Structure 1
Amino acid sequence: MSLDLNKVKKAQENIKGVARRTPLFYSSTFSKQSGYEIYLKCENKQKTGAFKIRGAYNKIANLTQEEKERGVIASSAGNHAQGVAYAATAFGIKSTIVMPATAPMSKVNATKGYGAEVVQFGEVYDECYTKAVEIQKETGATFVHPFNDEDVMAGQGTIALEILEDIPDMDAILVPIGGGGLIAGIAVAAKSINPNIKVIGVQAEIIASTKASLKAGKVVTVDGVKSLADGISVKTPGDISFKYIQQYVDEVVTVSEDEISYAEFKLMETSKLIAEGAGATPLAAVLADKIKVDGKKVAVLISGGNIDIAMVSKIINRELIMQKRRIGFNVELQDKVGELGKLITKISVLGANIVKVRQEQNWDEKGLEFANVNFEIESQSKEHSREIIKTLKESGYSIEGIKLF
């Protein structure tokens, strides 16, 4: 175990001018909601869309010329893939990346765009890692591990240096955990600067391999399905990174898939930030009241923002439904010019967004002078939805078939 503050500071010099110094900003919304002073460290604004370029570039910078000439190979769910591809191309060397067959196409295409040859295999990181090892033996390329490597950890640890340079009296840092390299590097750097700072790891509860390993006192493999936080869906933590976690990390908590989705939604809605599932897990822990910190200042690491736009749409729709902010109902109107326009205007004035509207003529005993109009609208909250329906009824509209989606 040779990772220390000096190695992290050396890594900071190696990546200077390559990796961005990402913003750390105070969130009044999440601070009010949690009772802490919440600061968001936005690695989703990093080159390649995630923190991984830090560790990948530092690792390749430390390779010998002979190792560089053989090229590099890596396995990754997506973010490390892009970091390695970017770094390898910057050094003018060949890179091959094995990615899960289920990896978001945005990550696959971005990795290819940075110059790597991509091989897709398996469903989670552990399966594509096995494939990458096979290819490495065949080609002799240098393996760049996504987390179980001290040079990679040192690069990731530069995040802690930036946080504590910006706010020296930070009380805690919340970090997502997959294989453990990110939190190992951050914990070593942070604790070396301030032994009293709290470092808390966050995992998806459906594949919480590090939490299980800490409980067992040794590295264990867990059965688990792919999480919404695909970047940290790792069945077995790294044995090297795990030793640093045991020594330096204060606590590991878990969050549910619902809590991850909610955190992603809130980041979009209130902070105008796009985060992938793994990147949202630390905030999920805050919003679900999973952490306890004696001090007030808490840095929440948004580790990446590489998410398919189609998934963003699904999360938004899901959360609107879960929060009862999308409702449907039928209104019976007189079928004459202007009536539908009046109702649409009234709904808009009440602050709702009309998603769908469909008018159907009635063929019942009331005759052809009436029509049913089916609405689907979005509101600001469940209470807002109820207030809209209440106001429309008080205005004399006949509302039926109400659905709180």
Structure 2
Amino acid sequence: MATAADDDGARHPSPLSDRHLRRTQRLGSARHLFPLRRDHRRAPARADREVPLVRPTLVAPTLEEIRRAHEIINREIGLPTPLIHSPGLSEHLNAHVSIKLEAATPTSAFKVRGGIYLASQLDIDARERGLVTASTGNHGQSIAYGAAVAGTSATIFMPTDANPDKITAIERFGGRVELVGERVDECFIAAAEYAHERGALYVEPVNQPTLIAGVATAALEVLETQQPDTELVIVPLGGGTGASGWVLVRDGLGHPAEVWAAQSSQAPAVHDAWRSGKMEPRPNRTLAEGIATGVVFELPLGILRASLNDFILAGDGQILAGLRRLWDLQHIMSEPAGAVGVAAAEQERERLSGKRVVIVVSGANATRAQLAKWLGD
């Protein structure tokens, strides 16, 4: 979904009208294979124009599809990712705590599961056209990696101040980076327009059932095989694909575990919509770029409102404390977005007491300078 931002940096829905979105058509029929290249350029943002967006059918994936996705992803990157019991966190939280280390993937983030599965479902025509999306980094890496595996191209639109390590990673996977504007909302609009003009496929980063099916495979690993007696799972949440996947698998298996989502209180859009039922823009001022969103997306919100057990907000200071706790007690490195589950667990310590808890660490894409700053005294 495209977004717009005001002067204080808060993300809001773009001026694209519901009428315009309803009459959205599939991207052009012209076939085009983007040449892969290592350099990136600053592309002009054209946020003043309405852009046709590809809107997938908003139907949640089934457990059968999630199982099929797991088979495909496993062939490419060797699943499962580790589930690590943490004696230190267990003692600290008075619970049996294990870490689902989703940073242990080729892109150091859980989203690569979705990118691989989505790209695997492309037909020959779609592979010739190539993929286009917008991202602050982790989603872009997942699409670039999946595209490389599938033998197609990926063009990723990112803000001009994007994390340089994430830019390098996308290019390493063969993706092409276009830098547009100061905020990711400009990237969404520019990416959709670029895809439309060239007949490529624009990948919605959140309202995309295929991506949810891919990332949901982590839940299948834990609840069915790695720790079937799990009583509580805490999942970081930005747009909601990861947490949606967990509740879909939990419900599909008929598993009794509770699933909680954790989000920054400085970017609480999905949390507030989950509680109120109203899809309204909210401020987005969190330093946790991997879960930074000021807007709400229909598909994951519907899934979460139907089945999520609780939704915890943690301030950025608490998130950084959680990041340090992960390092001090388990020597696990994380980006802030990946540590928000630890922050939520610390905040709700009494409710965790005596339970078998899984905390998802969703990613570890941070620069050396950032880690030195965050881990320092």
Q: Per the alignment, do residues 116 and 51 of structure 1 end up closer, same or farther by CA in structure 2, a change over 3 Å counting?
A: same
Q: Is the 8 A contact 1:178 1:237 kept in 2?
A: no
C-alpha distance in 1, partners of 2:302/2:354? 27
Q: Map 1:101-140 to 2 at 5 A.
A: 101-140=160-199
Residue matched to 2:155: 96
C-alpha distance in 1, partners of 2:354/2:251? 16
Q: Is the 8 A contact 1:126 1:236 kept in 2?
A: no
C-alpha distance in 2, partners of 1:199/1:127? 33
**Of 162, 186, 200, the match for 1:141:** 200
C-alpha distance in 2, partners of 1:51/1:271? 19
C-alpha distance in 1, partners of 2:116/2:322? 30
CA shift, 1:123, in A, is 4.2
Q: Is the 8 A contact 1:285 1:291 kept in 2?
A: no
Structure 2 residue 280 is the aligned partner of structure 1 residue 220:
yes
C-alpha distance in 2, partners of 1:72/1:218? 32
Residue matched to 1:177: 237
CA shift, 1:40, in A, is 0.2
C-alpha distance in 1, partners of 2:350/2:182? 31
Residue matched to 1:265: 324
Q: Map 1:187-226 to 2 at 5 A.
A: 187-225=247-285
CA shift, 1:52, in A, is 1.0
C-alpha distance in 1, partners of 2:119/2:236? 24
CA deviations over 1:182-213 (Å, ceiling 9, x no partner): 11112101222134211100001011111111
Residue matched to 1:57: 116
CA shift, 1:121, in A, is 2.4
C-alpha distance in 1, partners of 2:329/2:257? 28
CA deviations over 1:59-91 (Å, ceiling 9, x no partner): 111122211110001111111111111111122
CA shift, 1:293, in A, is 4.7
CA shift, 1:312, in A, is 0.5
Residue matched to 1:331: none
Q: Structure 2-normalised TM-score?
A: 0.81
CA deviations over 1:78-120 (Å, ceiling 9, x no partner): 1111111111112221110012223211111111111111012
Residue matched to 1:275: 334
Any runs of at least 4 consecutive aligned residues in structure 1 with deviations exceeding 3 A, and if so which? Answer: 122-127
Residue type at the aligned position of 2:289: D
Structure 2 residue 141 is the aligned partner of structure 1 residue 82:
yes
Q: Is the 8 A contact 2:282 2:295 kept in 1?
A: yes
Residue type at the aligned position of 1:166: Q
Q: Per the alignment, do residues 251 and 102 of structure 1 end up closer, same or farther by CA in structure 2, a change over 3 Å counting?
A: farther
Give the share of equivalent positions with the same residue, in percent: 29
Structure with larger RCO (C-alpha < 8 A, sep 6+): 2
Q: Map 1:306-317 to 2 at 5 A.
A: 306-317=365-376
CA shift, 1:231, in A, is 0.8
Structure number with bigger Rg: 1
Q: Structure 1-normalised TM-score?
A: 0.75
Residue matched to 2:289: 230
Matched pairs, number = 317
CA shift, 1:46, in A, is 1.2
Residue type at the aligned position of 2:70: Q
Unpaired runs of 5+ in structure 1?
321-405
**Of 244, 247, 262, the match for 2:306:** 247
Q: Is the 8 A contact 2:261 2:308 kept in 1?
A: yes
Q: Is the 8 A contact 2:102 2:363 kept in 1?
A: yes
The DSSP-based 3-state class of the residue aligned with 1:312 is helix
C-alpha distance in 2, partners of 1:118/1:67? 20
Q: Map 1:345-384 to 2 at 5 A.
A: none
| Structure with the higher fraction of residues in strand conformation | 1
CA deviations over 1:159-204 (Å, ceiling 9, x no partner): 0011111111101111111111111112101222134211100001
C-alpha distance in 1, partners of 2:288/2:356? 25
Residue type at the aligned position of 2:85: Y
C-alpha distance in 2, partners of 1:282/1:103? 24
Q: Per the alignment, do residues 41 and 2 of structure 1 end up closer, same or farther by CA in structure 2, a change over 3 Å counting?
A: closer
C-alpha distance in 1, partners of 2:222/2:185? 31
C-alpha distance in 2, partners of 1:161/1:129? 31
Q: Per the alignment, do residues 125 and 254 of structure 1 end up closer, same or farther by CA in structure 2, a change over 3 Å counting?
A: farther
C-alpha distance in 2, partners of 1:8/1:230? 27
C-alpha distance in 2, partners of 1:168/1:132? 41
The DSSP-based 3-state class of the residue aligned with 1:85 is helix
The DSSP-based 3-state class of the residue aligned with 2:302 is helix
Q: Is the 8 A contact 2:115 2:214 kept in 1?
A: yes
C-alpha distance in 2, partners of 1:8/1:291? 34
CA shift, 1:224, in A, is 2.1
Residue type at the aligned position of 2:69: A
Give the aligned CA root-mean-square deviation in angstroms: 1.6
Q: Per the alignment, do residues 250 and 295 of structure 1 end up closer, same or farther by CA in structure 2, a change over 3 Å counting?
A: farther
